[in-house]
């Protein structure tokens, strides 16, 4: 079964705070309930994305790492 994703955001090579700023901007243009998959290489994104979701009411559905690359699935509130 594939996971529904309406938008992808690649923030590879960007360091804090740029991945979160790009995530915030991307979600702004989406409808409630839509999902965004984000790719990041900044290790700080692991705590930043979780904190951002908790503070803004968005839902962090999935978070995992493959080597030095981090993947997130966020659903817009």
- Catalytic site positions: 16
- The CA distance from 3 to 1, in Å, is 7
Report the 10 Å Cβ neighbour count for 37. 17
What are 63's strand-pairing partners? 72
Q: Which two tokens stand for residue 35?
A: 């999902």
């Amino acid at each position: 079964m594939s996971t529904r994703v309406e938008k992808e955001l690649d923030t590879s090579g960007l360091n804090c705070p740029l991945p979160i700023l790009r995530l915030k901007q991307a979600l702004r243009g989406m409808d409630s309930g839509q999902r965004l998959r984000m790719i990041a290489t900044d290790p700080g994104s692991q705590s930043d994305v979780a904190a951002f979701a908790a503070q803004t009411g968005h839902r962090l559905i999935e978070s995992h790492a493959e080597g030095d690359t981090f993947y997130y699935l966020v659903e817009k509130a």
